[in-house]
Amino acid sequence: MAAYLDMKNCEFYIQDGYAVSGKVNNVSGYAVGKTSITIDGVTGKMETGILVTFAGHGTEYTVSSTTETTGNTTAIVITPALTSALVDDEVVTFGPHRVEITIGEGNTTYSKKKNREYKLNRGLLDQVRNGDEAPLEVSMAFAWTYLSSGTSDTMPTIEEALDQKGLASTWVTTGADCEPYAVNLVLFNKVPSCGAETKPWEKITFPQFRYEDLAHDSKAGLVTVTGKCNATDALKERLASS
């Protein structure tokens, strides 16, 4: 039986367009369950909290800590532990940056539109054709905690991520160069398993989102964001449950 979406089972993120690649550096590879990975081919220090993926693997990991040699990251500790084995020289990709959105008592909605043109023949309905494309509209309300990051913080706030400011000032747009800064909004619907039945998760991506209104409600403790995506629809894909 299908389960209705429940926000308690969802995770919602803001992600940028950053991506840097390196390789696994261990002739013996790494077995399932390992968390410490030696790498090479990366310039500079990787940030904690950034996503990590390995070529051919479906699982997304997060960098918990790093080790540097002459200023370049040469080892990482990942969360969760490896769900599949790695081989030497396997490509590892760092990025995008992301920050989780705490919805709290808020909500997330989106609307896709199709413009239709109804042509008349002597005043009567005749033919229908598609009109101009319309951008996907997204609205979300997240918990108003801090709007700016502190000196000891390692992750930007949601507002900083949307504005490319503070700890998100180095974030990379998901849109085209020379266009206004954009991010991807990513919703994971992690449907819980029921008895012996394993239910797949779903990943929904709202690409190239740019906000147009950022409304702050101190009484409700919410910040409401509305904007549009440079796309006509969200990207949807089924995932394994773990």
Residues 6+ apart with CB under 8 A from 13: 98, 99, 100, 101, 185, 186, 187, 188
Which is nearest to 138 in space by CA: 96, 101, 95? Answer: 101
Answer yes or no: is pLDDT of 154 > 90: no
Q: How confident is residue 195, by pLDDT bands cut at 50, 70 and 90? A: confident
Cis bond upstream, residue 80 (ω within 30)? yes
Confidence band of 48 (pLDDT split at 50, 70, 90): confident
Q: What is the distance, to the nearest Å, from the Cα of residue 26 to the centroid of all Cα atoms in its chain?
A: 30
At 242 the pLDDT is 54
**Mean pLDDT score, 177-197:** 88
Residue 107, pLDDT > 90, answer no
Nearby residues of 94 by Cβ (< 8 Å), 6 or more positions away? 18, 19, 20, 21, 22, 42, 46, 50, 51, 52, 63
The residue among 16, 52, 12 whose CA lies nearest residue 169 is 16
The rounded distance, in Å, linking the Cα atoms of 182 and 29 is 37
Mean pLDDT, residues 40-54 taken together? 91
| Mean pLDDT of the 136-155 span | 90
Question: What's the fold here for domain 19-95?
Answer: Elongation Factor Tu (Ef-tu); domain 3 (2.40.30)
150 Cβ contact partners less than 8 Å away, ≥ 6 residues apart: none
Lowest pLDDT segment from 14-28, 132-146, 187-201: 187-201
What is the residue extent of each domain of the chain? 7-14+100-239, 19-95
Verify cis geometry, omega within 30 degrees of 0, for the bond prior to 96. yes
